[in-house]
Amino acid sequence: MNTLMKQTLTASILSTMIAGTAMAAPAEAPPAFVKRIADSLIGHLKADHAKLQNNPSAVNAIVKQTLEPNVDAQAFTRIVMGTYASAQNSTAQQRATFERNLRQSLVQNYGAALAKYSNQTYSLRPYKQTSSAYPVVTIDFNNQGQKTPVSFQLTDAGSQWKVRNINVAGIDLGLQFRNQFADTVKRNGGNLDKAIATFKPNADNAAKK
Protein backbone atom coordinates (compact mmCIF):
# COMPACT_ATOMS: atom_id res chain seq x y z
CA MET A 1 0.00 0.00 0.00
CA ASN A 2 1.57 3.31 -1.09
CA THR A 3 1.85 6.39 1.11
CA LEU A 4 -1.04 8.24 -0.55
CA MET A 5 -3.40 5.31 -0.07
CA LYS A 6 -2.36 4.97 3.58
CA GLN A 7 -3.00 8.66 4.18
CA THR A 8 -6.38 8.49 2.44
CA LEU A 9 -7.42 5.40 4.43
CA THR A 10 -6.27 6.94 7.71
CA ALA A 11 -8.15 10.17 6.99
CA SER A 12 -11.26 8.18 6.10
CA ILE A 13 -11.14 6.17 9.33
CA LEU A 14 -10.56 9.29 11.46
CA SER A 15 -13.43 11.11 9.73
CA THR A 16 -15.75 8.18 10.40
CA MET A 17 -14.71 8.05 14.07
CA ILE A 18 -15.19 11.80 14.52
CA ALA A 19 -18.56 11.73 12.78
CA GLY A 20 -19.67 8.79 14.92
CA THR A 21 -18.60 10.54 18.08
CA ALA A 22 -20.45 13.70 17.09
CA MET A 23 -23.62 11.78 16.35
CA ALA A 24 -23.43 9.95 19.69
CA ALA A 25 -23.08 13.12 21.76
CA PRO A 26 -26.16 14.13 23.78
CA ALA A 27 -28.25 16.68 21.92
CA GLU A 28 -29.37 18.40 25.15
CA ALA A 29 -27.18 20.63 27.26
CA PRO A 30 -26.81 19.21 30.82
CA PRO A 31 -29.00 21.92 32.45
CA ALA A 32 -31.77 21.37 29.87
CA PHE A 33 -31.71 17.63 30.57
CA VAL A 34 -32.03 18.10 34.34
CA LYS A 35 -34.69 20.79 33.98
CA ARG A 36 -36.76 18.57 31.69
CA ILE A 37 -36.74 15.75 34.25
CA ALA A 38 -37.50 18.11 37.15
CA ASP A 39 -40.34 19.79 35.26
CA SER A 40 -41.87 16.43 34.37
CA LEU A 41 -41.53 15.08 37.89
CA ILE A 42 -42.86 18.18 39.63
CA GLY A 43 -45.61 18.52 37.02
CA HIS A 44 -46.88 15.02 37.78
CA LEU A 45 -46.73 15.65 41.53
CA LYS A 46 -48.70 18.89 41.23
CA ALA A 47 -51.29 17.49 38.85
CA ASP A 48 -51.96 14.40 40.96
CA HIS A 49 -51.37 15.93 44.39
CA ALA A 50 -54.74 14.88 45.84
CA LYS A 51 -54.45 11.33 44.52
CA LEU A 52 -50.93 10.91 45.90
CA GLN A 53 -51.75 11.61 49.54
CA ASN A 54 -51.12 8.47 51.61
CA ASN A 55 -50.57 6.54 48.38
CA PRO A 56 -46.87 5.60 48.23
CA SER A 57 -47.37 3.13 45.39
CA ALA A 58 -48.73 5.95 43.19
CA VAL A 59 -45.75 8.19 44.02
CA ASN A 60 -43.38 5.30 43.32
CA ALA A 61 -45.04 4.79 39.95
CA ILE A 62 -44.34 8.43 39.03
CA VAL A 63 -40.70 8.09 40.11
CA LYS A 64 -40.34 4.87 38.13
CA GLN A 65 -41.84 6.44 35.03
CA THR A 66 -40.10 9.82 35.20
CA LEU A 67 -36.78 9.40 36.97
CA GLU A 68 -35.67 5.78 36.73
CA PRO A 69 -35.19 5.69 32.91
CA ASN A 70 -32.85 8.68 33.23
CA VAL A 71 -30.55 7.09 35.83
CA ASP A 72 -27.43 5.14 34.88
CA ALA A 73 -28.16 2.24 37.22
CA GLN A 74 -25.00 0.35 36.28
CA ALA A 75 -22.76 3.31 37.09
CA PHE A 76 -24.57 3.96 40.38
CA THR A 77 -24.33 0.26 41.23
CA ARG A 78 -20.55 0.38 40.76
CA ILE A 79 -20.32 3.43 43.02
CA VAL A 80 -22.41 1.84 45.79
CA MET A 81 -20.81 -1.62 45.61
CA GLY A 82 -17.35 -0.07 45.77
CA THR A 83 -14.63 -2.72 45.81
CA TYR A 84 -17.29 -5.44 45.60
CA ALA A 85 -18.15 -4.28 42.07
CA SER A 86 -14.95 -5.77 40.64
CA ALA A 87 -14.95 -9.15 38.89
CA GLN A 88 -12.46 -10.36 41.50
CA ASN A 89 -14.85 -9.70 44.40
CA SER A 90 -18.27 -10.55 42.94
CA THR A 91 -19.89 -12.54 40.16
CA ALA A 92 -21.85 -11.10 37.25
CA GLN A 93 -25.00 -12.61 38.77
CA GLN A 94 -24.35 -10.96 42.14
CA ARG A 95 -23.85 -7.58 40.48
CA ALA A 96 -27.03 -7.98 38.42
CA THR A 97 -29.03 -8.93 41.52
CA PHE A 98 -27.59 -5.99 43.43
CA GLU A 99 -28.49 -3.59 40.61
CA ARG A 100 -32.07 -4.89 40.45
CA ASN A 101 -32.52 -4.59 44.22
CA LEU A 102 -30.91 -1.16 44.25
CA ARG A 103 -33.27 0.10 41.55
CA GLN A 104 -36.28 -0.95 43.64
CA SER A 105 -34.88 0.57 46.82
CA LEU A 106 -34.06 3.88 45.14
CA VAL A 107 -37.57 4.19 43.74
CA GLN A 108 -38.90 3.69 47.27
CA ASN A 109 -36.38 6.17 48.73
CA TYR A 110 -37.15 8.88 46.19
CA GLY A 111 -40.85 8.13 46.42
CA ALA A 112 -40.83 8.60 50.19
CA ALA A 113 -39.01 11.93 49.81
CA LEU A 114 -41.29 13.19 47.05
CA ALA A 115 -44.42 12.15 48.93
CA LYS A 116 -43.62 15.06 51.26
CA TYR A 117 -43.68 17.48 48.34
CA SER A 118 -46.15 20.28 49.02
CA ASN A 119 -45.93 22.64 46.08
CA GLN A 120 -42.37 23.77 46.69
CA THR A 121 -40.61 25.75 43.98
CA TYR A 122 -37.16 25.17 42.58
CA SER A 123 -34.58 27.11 40.62
CA LEU A 124 -31.70 26.00 38.43
CA ARG A 125 -28.29 27.34 39.39
CA PRO A 126 -26.08 28.84 36.66
CA TYR A 127 -24.28 25.96 34.97
CA LYS A 128 -20.48 25.94 35.06
CA GLN A 129 -19.06 23.97 32.16
CA THR A 130 -15.87 22.08 32.99
CA SER A 131 -13.63 19.53 31.31
CA SER A 132 -14.90 16.81 33.65
CA ALA A 133 -16.42 13.71 32.05
CA TYR A 134 -19.24 14.02 34.61
CA PRO A 135 -21.03 17.40 34.38
CA VAL A 136 -22.83 18.56 37.51
CA VAL A 137 -26.12 20.48 37.47
CA THR A 138 -27.53 21.86 40.72
CA ILE A 139 -31.13 22.68 41.57
CA ASP A 140 -32.22 24.60 44.67
CA PHE A 141 -35.53 23.33 46.05
CA ASN A 142 -37.30 26.05 48.03
CA ASN A 143 -39.60 24.96 50.84
CA GLN A 144 -41.07 27.93 52.69
CA GLY A 145 -37.89 29.94 52.30
CA GLN A 146 -35.52 27.10 53.11
CA LYS A 147 -33.36 26.08 50.16
CA THR A 148 -32.06 22.54 49.69
CA PRO A 149 -29.45 22.15 46.94
CA VAL A 150 -29.58 18.93 44.96
CA SER A 151 -26.71 18.29 42.54
CA PHE A 152 -27.04 15.79 39.71
CA GLN A 153 -23.81 14.28 38.42
CA LEU A 154 -24.33 13.22 34.81
CA THR A 155 -22.67 10.79 32.45
CA ASP A 156 -22.80 10.54 28.66
CA ALA A 157 -24.69 7.31 27.99
CA GLY A 158 -24.40 7.67 24.22
CA SER A 159 -26.78 10.16 22.57
CA GLN A 160 -28.27 11.15 25.95
CA TRP A 161 -27.32 12.16 29.45
CA LYS A 162 -28.09 10.00 32.45
CA VAL A 163 -27.82 10.67 36.18
CA ARG A 164 -24.77 8.94 37.63
CA ASN A 165 -24.92 10.17 41.22
CA ILE A 166 -26.82 12.65 43.39
CA ASN A 167 -25.61 15.01 46.09
CA VAL A 168 -28.23 16.39 48.50
CA ALA A 169 -27.23 19.39 50.65
CA GLY A 170 -23.58 18.40 50.44
CA ILE A 171 -24.23 14.70 51.09
CA ASP A 172 -22.89 12.36 48.39
CA LEU A 173 -25.59 9.69 48.28
CA GLY A 174 -23.48 7.25 46.28
CA LEU A 175 -20.68 7.42 48.84
CA GLN A 176 -23.04 7.20 51.81
CA PHE A 177 -24.86 4.22 50.31
CA ARG A 178 -21.45 2.60 49.70
CA ASN A 179 -20.64 2.95 53.39
CA GLN A 180 -24.04 1.51 54.28
CA PHE A 181 -23.46 -1.46 52.00
CA ALA A 182 -19.98 -2.09 53.44
CA ASP A 183 -21.56 -2.15 56.92
CA THR A 184 -24.19 -4.60 55.66
CA VAL A 185 -21.48 -6.92 54.33
CA LYS A 186 -19.69 -6.72 57.68
CA ARG A 187 -22.88 -7.49 59.63
CA ASN A 188 -23.37 -10.56 57.46
CA GLY A 189 -19.90 -11.88 58.21
CA GLY A 190 -18.62 -11.11 54.73
CA ASN A 191 -21.35 -13.17 53.04
CA LEU A 192 -21.96 -11.11 49.90
CA ASP A 193 -25.13 -12.94 48.86
CA LYS A 194 -26.77 -12.27 52.23
CA ALA A 195 -25.62 -8.65 52.17
CA ILE A 196 -27.07 -8.11 48.70
CA ALA A 197 -30.37 -9.73 49.69
CA THR A 198 -30.78 -7.61 52.83
CA PHE A 199 -29.26 -4.27 51.78
CA LYS A 200 -31.67 -1.35 51.96
CA PRO A 201 -30.07 2.05 51.24
CA ASN A 202 -31.49 4.71 53.51
CA ALA A 203 -31.43 8.28 52.17
CA ASP A 204 -32.71 9.74 55.46
CA ASN A 205 -29.83 8.20 57.42
CA ALA A 206 -27.40 9.37 54.74
CA ALA A 207 -28.68 12.94 55.03
CA LYS A 208 -28.06 12.92 58.80
CA LYS A 209 -24.34 12.19 58.34
Domain that holds residue 193: 26-207
Q: How many CA atoms lie within 13 A of 34 on its CB side?
A: 25
Q: Which residues of the chain have pLDDT under 70?
A: 1-25, 117-119, 205-209
Residue 162 in any domain: the answer is yes
- Domain count for the chain, please give it: 1
Quick: pLDDT tens for 104-147.
888 887 777 777 766 678 899 999 888 888 999 999 988 777 88
CATH number at residue 146: 3.10.450.710
Residue 38 in any domain: the answer is yes
Residue 6 in any domain: the answer is no
User: With contact defined as beta carbons under 8 Å apart, do 79 and 134 qualify?
Assistant: no
Sign of CA dihedral 200, 201, 202, 208: positive
pTM: 0.79
